[in-house]
Amino acid sequence: MYNVFFNYQFKDIVNSKQMKIHKNIAAAFQFLTILPLPVKTERRHLEKSMVWFPLVGAVIGVITGFAYQGLYAVFPASISSALTILIYIILTRALHLDGFMDTIDGFFSYQDRESILKIMKVPTLGSFAVLGVGVWFLVLFSSLPMLGSKDYIIIHTYVRTAILLMPLLFTYPRESGTGKFFVDHVKDKTALLAIILTLMITAALYFIDIPGSQWTVNKRLQILVYGAFLLVSFFVSWLIGLWSKKKIGGITGDIVGFTIETTHLFLVLLIALTFKISHG
């Protein structure tokens, strides 16, 4: 009788933890994408969801990578690139791109701290934001044809891992805001578990063959290249954090979005450059 009771209690505990993890993962996808997951989540699940950001990034990479490969089977590279970028924007609700544009408008206004923060809150776009998103589009448009399916996954995983170090190094400069929730709830354990998850995803990509993939360099060196790309992601995030601290005293939600898209560009260019050098 005791064994039966113990088994039921143990199963209840396991099922309860699985349900919590299930909802935490769902909260991460609901926050970062438009993917219609039929799971009801609450604020407490979003608080625990950030460790799963790399997984969301990997799924975004899978979708955009295979989208490009599928489109390229029908359309020229230029049209395939443009449509893949559009799919990415829709998939992420332009969440990060909005922060990218707001940050450019604010930081390149060359105003004082309070004025920059006000500009970043204004819903209209300035000329610098339009110019910035134009450059963002052109870089992606011209570079995507040189990427393999695995590269998309690596990029979107790494950029969403790197931002989790920012709240550990920088504070939130406003009294309230969407970004404050992010800064307040990323802890050392969150970042550590996210990095472990990222390394697991990287290892899986190294050993698993994916259609449309191509090695940027010799396969034996590829794991070192992946490691270098992850370090670049952390470094770019840190530099942007320092810049933001100097400008406005910390990081906001817009800065996090700016960091994701800027690091996105850096990795795309770096992978394209590496491929070009190794293949002539």
d(CA 100, CA 55): 22
Q: What is the pTM of this model?
A: 0.91
Three-state secondary-structure class, residue 211: coil
Residue 130: CB partners within 8 Å, gap ≥ 6? Answer: 101
Whether the predicted pLDDT of 16 surpasses 60: no
Mean pLDDT of 132-158: 95
Token couple for 185? 């709830």
- Band (pLDDT 50/70/90 cuts) for residue 6 is very low
pLDDT in tens, 161-204: 999 999 999 999 987 777 888 999 899 999 999 999 999 999 99
Token couple for 113? 């701290």
Residue 153: CB partners within 8 Å, gap ≥ 6? Answer: 57, 58, 61, 62, 65, 201, 205, 210
d(CA 116, CA 108): 9
**pLDDT number for residue 5:** 41
- Band (pLDDT 50/70/90 cuts) for residue 3 is low
**pLDDT number for residue 2:** 45
Mean pLDDT of 42-63: 95
